[in-house]
Amino acid sequence: MKRVTIGDVAAQAGVSTATVSRVINGGVVAEATATRVWDAITSLEYSPNALTKSIFAGRSSTIGVVIRDLSSPFYLDLIRGIDEVAAANDSLVMLANTFRKDDREAAQVRAMDEQRVRGLIVTTGVTADSHTRRMADNGTPCVIVSRVVPGMHSISLDNVRAGELMAAHLAACGRGSIGVVTASRRPSQIERVQGLAVPERAVTVAETPQDVPGAIDALFDTNDRLDAIVCTSGRLTAAVHSALTGRGIAIADDIAFLAMDEFPWAEALGVTVIAQPTYDMGRKAAELVIECPAEPVSLVFQPELIARTSCGEVSS
């Protein structure tokens, strides 16, 4: 079946295509004429071309979202929150994954700008900041998630507090010798380690899940009396858990295990976690795009400890 065009609507309504375009885009048209056009649109089941509308508007109705790594469960609820707000405001979400590659981050932000998105939400590193700031300076609402960037809208977690909650719970469970597996030198990771207040020798970096077994070995080589392991990155939690059990370590009995971010299987395995309100963070990021405040807004969300059995019982 041939797609209905704006010309077909114009012919049935007895007007020009320019008049149909003005009606669709909210231009000034006589009420009787607008009624005929809308009747023709309904009768023909015409679907306006979003690309054409964006050309007239100078911007699309799409919210661009650039994600560092879709393999991380952190982003699932974040995207759900963004999408719900976008849908409620007649917008779609255009998603791009950068696979944690700096060059892809900058390229994806530029691509979103070329698409003239309604707004941009990014979880990128610092290499894409100049491109994001340029978009914001040109009038596109931009929100950075997981980091605070001066002069930009941002949504972040109180990561120092997250580390403090971890340390306090482990202390309450009688655990005093802590090893930390962290994912990178990003500000969020550094701040969580700061909150834990452990010596530098107790921290090892695993850039990928494949690096985790070596990181665990390094921790035990440094301190064979470890009684707790903390993973500060949700995307590494499964790998750390597997590395510990693969060494024949009984979690909780032999060593406490505490991880970042809530997962569907965490409750089944009894893993104690620090949860981020990612759904609320996603909703607020999208709301900032829709509302477009004139001055930069920086919102910091609070983490929550969900205590289960992986750290043992809290001492009386």
All CATH 3.40.50.2300 domain ranges of the chain, comma separated, are 62-157+278-303, 159-275
Looking at the structure, give the CATH architecture of the domain made up of residues 62-157+278-303. Answer: 3-Layer(aba) Sandwich (3.40)
d(CA 20, CA 229): 65
Residue with tokens 């981050």: 105
Residue 251 is classified by DSSP as B
The CATH code belonging to domain 6-48 is 1.10.260.40
The beta-strand segments (E) located in the chain are: 62-67, 92-97, 119-122, 142-145, 153-157, 178-182, 203-205, 228-231, 256-260, 272-275, 298-301, 304-306
All CATH 1.10.260.40 domain ranges of the chain, comma separated, are 6-48
The reply to whether CATH 3.40.50.300 applies to domain 159-275 is no
Per-residue pLDDT of the chain (316 residues; tens, 9 = 90+): 577 888 899 999 999 988 988 888 778 889 999 999 999 989 888 877 655 555 445 557 899 999 988 877 789 899 999 999 999 998 999 999 998 888 899 899 999 998 889 999 999 888 899 999 999 998 999 999 999 999 999 999 999 999 999 999 999 999 999 999 999 778 899 999 999 999 999 999 999 999 999 999 999 999 989 999 999 999 999 999 999 999 999 999 999 999 999 988 899 999 999 999 999 999 999 999 999 999 999 999 999 999 999 999 887 5
Tell me the H-state helices in the chain.
6-13, 17-24, 31-44, 50-57, 74-88, 102-114, 129-137, 159-172, 187-196, 212-222, 237-246, 266-269, 278-291
The residues pairing with 228 across neighbouring beta strands, listed in sequence order, are: 178, 256
pTM: 0.82
